[in-house]
Amino acid sequence: MRIFTLLLLLLVLLIGAVAQQVPGNSDLPPSGTNPLPVFSDGKVTLPAGTQIPLHLKQGISTKSVKVGDAVYAETTFPITGNDRVIIPAGTYVQGRITEVRRPGRVKGKAEVLMHFTSLVFPSGYTTMLPGAVENVPGSENQHMKGEEGTIEQNSSKGKDVAQVAQTAATGAVIGGLASGGTGKGVGIGGAAGAATGLAIALLTRGNDILLPEGTSVQMVLQRSLTLDEARLRR
């Protein structure tokens, strides 16, 4: 019974950890209007901080992706200024995976960091791009970490708590039936079940990041981007 009590205490602590680690709305960047582009001498400059909505043209998973792998995306809404389209919807965006971290078995959540490096306009005009991930509004299971554009998988501790609780309950039922319904049998069965669930949780790797093809990604310019207006219209 003392073992069972200790395992129940462990469940309470795990539930508390889940409540502290589940990301809330405060983790999301504030929404706002893009800074105004600057037109001068046939050039247009998009200031740093300009946000550009994309969707992925291929899936990304921390199970298989490697540092250096290409990332392909496409703009989903035009960026405009002075009643002119600067970056039309359907503009191709290319990038690279710069960091990957798989989830651990005891601690450590999956992470992936990517940077966008070039724009390919429908006209064929291609330019270098200083872009990073600002947000992943198309994903329910990931959130942003830090200021470098790292995507992090949400905590799986809630699933671990459920696993321990489920196996504890199953063990308690089996122990009770085996002992004719005595409290001692229920306690022993519950303790054994909780120990089994805890072992499974500790030996199982956490969830990988999975961003399917078509996932919405908000890109932000890390530095200003200057474009040739004449080449945009070709």
Q: 90: alpha, beta or left, given left = phi > 0 and alpha = psi -120 to 50? A: left
Q: Is 121 helix (H, G, I), strand (E, B) or coil?
A: coil
Residues in CB range of 95: below 8 A, 6 or more apart: 70, 71, 72, 73, 114, 115, 116, 117, 118, 131
- pLDDT tens for the chain, 234 residues long, are 555 455 455 554 554 554 444 444 333 334 457 889 999 999 999 999 999 999 999 999 999 999 999 999 999 999 999 888 999 999 999 999 999 998 755 557 889 999 999 999 998 999 999 999 998 886 777 888 876 788 898 865 555 455 545 554 554 445 544 555 555 554 555 555 555 555 544 555 578 889 999 999 999 999 999 999 988 876
- Which of 107, 129, 108 has its CA nearest to residue 117? 129
Per the confidence metrics, is the pTM higher than 0.75?
A: no
- Dihedral, 38, 39, 41, 44 alpha carbons, nearest 10: 80
Written as six digits, the tokens of 14 are: 């795990």
